[in-house]
């Protein structure tokens, strides 16, 4: 790649590089399956959801794009009676990221919110999640990511 074509690393990628965490930066639109690289399917792409618990405050749930979050399961594992999605107008104020750019690395670095990754991730060699900017992602081993952001693997999908 020539210098002009090389993508500037996102802050998330810089944080991972500095910590010597193995990952691959990607420029993909996760919502357009025809724009995905051949080795990545929609079920490899994980969404980072920000919710608010009635007892703990913000919690983060990470699960495949193809699955639905069970708020009941996330509430239980996070020590809440109830969790609900953070309204989009409050998202950036709460997590530091706009809708579509929430990511576990940046949220953990800045906010230290509890993070829960759906246990289905353990069945895969890698997952793809946001790199902190819309249209930018990282490909990373699930266990490597969970260790770095102190996440727990639990079943949170419906």
**Domains observed in the chain:** 24-154 (3.90.960.10)
Query: For residue 96, which of 130, 121, 128, 145 has the smallest C-alpha distance?
Result: 130
Residues 6+ apart with CB under 8 A from 142: 117, 121, 122, 124, 126, 127, 153
pLDDT in tens, 5-62: 577 899 999 999 999 999 999 998 776 767 788 889 889 999 999 999 999 999 999 9
* 59-76 mean pLDDT: 98
pLDDT at 34: 73
pLDDT band at 1 (very low <50, low <70, confident <90, very high): very low
Contacts of 31 (CB under 8 A, 6+ apart): none
Q: What's the whole-model pTM score? A: 0.93
> Three-state SS for 81?
coil
Q: What is the model's pLDDT at position 4? A: 52
**Dist CA 112 CA 127 (whole Å):** 21
Q: How far apart are the C-alpha atoms of 51 and 75, rounded to whole Å?
A: 10
Calculate the average pLDDT of the chain: 93
Top pLDDT among 28 and 112 is at: 112
């Amino acid at each position: 790649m020539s210098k002009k074509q090389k993508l500037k690393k996102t802050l998330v990628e810089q944080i991972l590089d500095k910590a010597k965490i193995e990952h691959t930066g990607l420029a993909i639109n996760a919502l357009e399956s025809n724009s995905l690289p051949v080795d990545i399917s929609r079920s490899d792409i994980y969404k980072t959801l920000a919710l608010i618990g009635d007892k703990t405050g913000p919690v983060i749930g990470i699960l495949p794009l193809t699955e639905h979050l069970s708020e009941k399961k996330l509430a239980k594992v996070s020590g809440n009676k109830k969790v609900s999605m953070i309204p989009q107008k409050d998202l950036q104020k709460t997590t530091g990221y706009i809708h579509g750019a929430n990511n576990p690395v940046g949220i953990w670095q800045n906010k230290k919110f509890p993070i829960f990754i759906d246990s289905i991730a353990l069945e895969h060699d890698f997952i793809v999640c946001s790199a902190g900017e819309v249209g930018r992602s990282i490909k990373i081993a699930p266990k490597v990511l969970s260790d770095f952001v102190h996440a727990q693997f639990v079943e949170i999908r419906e």
